[in-house]
Amino acid sequence: MKVLITGGAGYIGSELVYKLSNNKVVKEIIIYDNLHRGNYNFFIGVRKIEHPNISFIKGDILDGRKLRKVLKGVDVVYHLAANVTTPFADQNPHFFEQVNHWGTAELSNAIEQSNVSKFIYVSSVSVYGSQSELVTNETQLNPKTFYGISKMRGEEHVRRLFDKLPTYIARSGNVFGYSKGLRIDAVINKFMFDAQFDSRITIHGDGNQTRAFIEICRLVNYLDAMLSSNLPSGHFNLVDKNLSVLDVVDTMRELYPGLEMIFVNQHLKMREIQVERDPNALKLLKTKERSLFEELSEFKKMFTF
């Protein structure tokens, strides 16, 4: 099986490459990335990728002609290339629209003209917007930010392929955990970095706002399982934990007993979301679940000092 991963040098993509390199059905891996986030750490270091047939192509997701060439002979496409900041980001609307919306349109069109047999698109629960009630697969999309709107529009292009080939829209929760392409702007990752080196974290709002989270290894396990899944085309909410910011902090203080907190704009009501764990997605995994404390303890071990 030949697999293409757009955004393969990024935060999630780099971990997915490691995971797929140990999947026996994967005979070839192509990493397609424009390196706009400067993720060169993925290509160096002692952590080697033990796979006999892996390659890197520097390319842009908006380059439809190049995509069509790269897709020749590809069986499965993972689409992770995106302009990503935080799930509730509301800045640089043009860049979000170009990359997340029209870039996904270019890829979807190229796949439609190819012999690709499966398409897995990594979206975000931000397409639901801020919700006061528990979000399910049936919840109407209502994005509130430029990022969420662009991901929703990207989904519309992907959905056109539902009847043509197995196509999965994986709506991920707020991802955290170690990767060689680590994103420090994700809330838990930022907290962990600040706790490790400054013993102090900054909380926006009163900390009672709730978010849906998933640890990166757990997310990658889901994506790996989708490779051989016989699930029909559809969308899946990939989340593990609904936690308030203060819930996260309470767990972190077990790891960092002297941790200090600074509250900014404590009087403001912050956006929040809680997402039901998807029963269809849960069927894909047989791995043991870990507590937040176990996941953050593993993360802490990855700091160099």
CATH, residue 64: 3.40.50.720
Q: How many helices (H) and strands (E) does the chain have?
A: 10, 12
Q: Say if CB 115 and CB 5 are below 8 A apart.
A: no
Answer yes or no: is 120 within a domain. Answer: yes
Answer yes or no: is 19 within a domain. Answer: yes
What is the model's pLDDT at position 85? Answer: 66
Q: Say if CB 13 and CB 33 are below 8 A apart.
A: yes
Answer yes or no: is 23 within a domain. Answer: yes
Averaged confidence pLDDT in the chain = 94
Task: Answer whether residue 88 shows pLDDT above 50.
Answer: no
Mean pLDDT of 228-239: 95
The residue with tokens 């539902």 is 162
**Which residues are part of the catalytic machinery?**
147
Report the DSSP beta bridge partners of residue 119.
77, 167
Answer yes or no: is 97 within a domain. Answer: yes
pTM of the model: 0.94
Answer yes or no: is 46 within a domain. Answer: yes
Domain encompassing residue 231: 2-177+213-240+274-287
Window from 85-89, 100-104, 130-134, 259-263 with minimum mean pLDDT: 85-89
Answer yes or no: is 298 within a domain. Answer: no
Window from 55-59, 95-99, 117-121, 132-136 with minimum mean pLDDT: 95-99
The residue with greater pLDDT, 259 or 185, is 259
Task: Answer whether residue 90 shows pLDDT above 60.
Answer: no
Tell whether the torsion through CA atoms of 283, 287, 288 and 293 is positive or negative: negative
Task: Answer whether residue 92 shows pLDDT above 80.
Answer: no
Answer yes or no: is 267 within a domain. Answer: no
What is the model's pLDDT at position 91? Answer: 64
Answer yes or no: is 188 within a domain. Answer: no
Q: Say what percent of the chain tops pLDDT 70.
A: 97
Q: Say if CB 216 and CB 186 are below 8 A apart.
A: no
Window from 50-54, 65-69, 82-86 with minimum mean pLDDT: 82-86
**E strands, the chain, where?**
2-6, 28-33, 54-58, 76-79, 118-124, 167-172, 174-176, 200-204, 210-215, 234-238, 241-244, 260-264
Count: domains in the chain: 1
